[in-house]
Amino acid sequence: MGLQRLWFERGCPERLRPVLIDRVEPVGPDEADLAGAHAVLAGSRVWDRASIESVPGLRVIARTGIGVDSVDLVAATRQGVLVCNTPDGPTVPTAEHAVMLLLAAAKNLKALHPLLKPDDDPNQVGTGSALELDGRCLGLVGYGRIGQRVAAIAKALGMEVVAHDPFVDHAEVELLPLEEFWPRCDAISLHAPLTDATRCMVDAAAFAAMRPGVILVNTARGGLVDHEALMAALDDGTVRAAGLDVTDPEPLPFDHPLWQRREVMVTPHVASATVRGRERMVGMAVEQVLMALAGERPTHLVNPEVLESPE
């Protein structure tokens, strides 16, 4: 009997091939190789019911990241497919990216760039409107690994930090219900998963409860924000600036009005995509696959009910 096959969505990195020798056969990214796969490393590809059922021997889907909203967990569980993620992999780069977007928004980075023209007044000091973050309040929606890392960096900048997370009972920052959270913050950074409960949680009502001139940063999922409500909040000054690594839809169409906003900076869902970050997430996902295929319980199993014995 041959080795079980592990399909890589973006191809197997050469550095991992020695690790996989005599353990699994790496295949992909060709779609033709997918049909015979026993495990897949899932990046941005959507694994809906039809996709899962189209791979009859599939035993494991390992996400190279935290979010599993691109995987139909009900269908995977029904098919007996283990779904794993890599929650420790993107922590550092995503937190750094969130703080980068926060600083860029506070310092008007996108609006300043066009001023570097030969025919413009070289002395812009008197017209600057950048914010100092020292002493201001940063609110974190989601206080998991990434949120905690952002909190540590923000505190080093002299910011007060509060958080909203219904799944956290105690933390090193003040935890607030949403009705107290929105009006408390000078800047808000989103780090929540996308679920039915969180979809469009930042809507017109949320913006109406916020302080005028708030900064919004989103490095989690675009679906957390109602983008029409965001446009209205930018227009009326509720939102001073926004830094978005994720959007809805994604990618954002080039004719979308957000592209035209000088107070909005958009990056293409690359917060975790540092060289070390990618290597770390792929390596961790492979570890989860090898554990599962060896009959062991993966350390980051998202649907443990697959392993539960029937009554």
Query: From the CB of residue 26, how many other CB atoms can be counted at a distance below 10 Å?
Result: 21
233, 146: one domain: yes
216, 107: one domain: yes
Mind listing the pLDDT tens digit of every residue in the chain (311 residues)?
A: 579 999 999 999 999 999 999 999 999 999 999 999 999 999 889 999 999 999 999 999 999 999 999 999 999 999 999 999 999 999 999 999 999 999 999 999 988 876 666 665 555 554 568 999 999 999 999 999 999 999 999 999 999 999 999 999 989 999 999 999 999 999 999 999 999 999 999 999 999 999 999 999 999 999 999 999 999 999 999 999 999 999 999 999 989 999 989 999 999 999 999 999 999 999 999 999 999 999 999 999 999 999 985 54
76, 148: one domain: no
269, 278, 280, 300: the active-site residue: 269
SS3 content of the chain, % helix, strand, coil (to 5): 35, 15, 45
225, 208: one domain: yes
| 227 closest CA partner among 261, 195, 269 | 261
Partnered with residue 56 across adjacent β-strands are none
61, 123: one domain: no
173, 103: one domain: yes
Distance CA 88, CA 278 (A): 12
53, 250, 263, 279: the active-site residue: 250
pTM over 0.85: yes
38, 149, 221, 278: the active-site residue: 221
216, 118: one domain: yes
Please check whether residue 41 is in contact with residue 286, taking contact to mean a CB–CB distance below 8 angstroms. Answer: yes
250 is catalytic: yes
Provide the number of structural domains found in the chain: 2
180, 196: one domain: yes
119, 242: one domain: yes
278 is catalytic: no
118, 172: one domain: yes
- Environment class of 245 (CB within 10 Å of its CB; exposed 0-12, middle 13-18, buried 19+): buried
For residue 66, give the CATH number of its domain: 3.40.50.720
73, 148: one domain: no
The domain in which residue 240 lies consists of 91-266
Please check whether residue 108 is in contact with residue 263, taking contact to mean a CB–CB distance below 8 angstroms. Answer: yes
Distance CA 83, CA 287 (A): 13
